[in-house]
Amino acid sequence: MDRLLHELRSTLARLKAEIELLDPGTSAASLLAIRASLDDVFVLVTDLETATSPPPSRVAKDVVIIDDDSRLATAMARQMSRLGFAAVALPSLEGLASLVANGTRVVIDLSVLRRGQVEDLNAVRRLRPIVMTGSADPLARLEAASYGATAFLMKPVSPESVALAMSDARDGAL
C-alpha cells in the first residue's frame, strides 16, 4: 500500500506541475499528456481502494452500480458508500450474478442493458433494476420498463436520487 500511495503522490505532483506550466497556447499534445496523467491517477486510486477493501465476495452489497463508463460507476459507488450503502461498481453485466445477494439493488445504465445477452437480461429483470440513462428519447422509459425497471433516472444522477429511487421502488413498478 505504501508503494501505491507513493505512486499516487508522485503522479499528482507531476500533474500539478504540468497544470501550473500551462499557458493559453498549450498544444494538444500537452493536453493529451495531462489527460494521460489524470488517467494514471484514477488507476492508482482504484488500485488503492482495491488494496484497502475486503474481497467483494465477503462484502454484503446493498447496491451494484453498472455503467459502461467505469469512472462514472466507480464515482457513484463511492458516493453511495458515503451515504451508508455497501456499493460495488461494474462496467458490464459480467460477474453480476456472483455479486448479487437477496435484497441487493441494481442501478444500471440503459446502454449496458441494450448490449446484454438474453440470459443476463432475464437475470436483471428478476432483480427489478433502477435504470438510468443520458438519453432524452421519450421511448427510453418504455424500454427501461421492458427490462423490469422499478425506477427510471435521467443522468446526471445524484446518489440521493438513487437512494430515494431505491426506497420508493421496493414494491412498485415503473
E-only strand ranges, the chain? 63-66, 87-90, 105-109, 130-133, 151-154
Confidence at residue 98, expressed as pLDDT on a 0 to 100 scale:
75
Give the pLDDT of residue 60.
Answer: 42
Cell of 145: 420498463
Supply the pLDDT for residue 57.
43
What is the predicted pLDDT for the residue at 174? Answer: 56
C-alpha cell at 118: 438474453
Can you give the pLDDT at residue 56?
47
Looking at residue 129, its amino acid is: P
CA distance 71 to 46: 10
Farthest-apart Cα atoms in the chain, separation = 56
User: pTM for the whole thing?
Assistant: 0.63
Over the chain (174 residues), what is each successive 10-residue block's mean pLDDT?
71 75 79 79 73 51 89 92 90 82 87 92 90 90 94 92 83 51
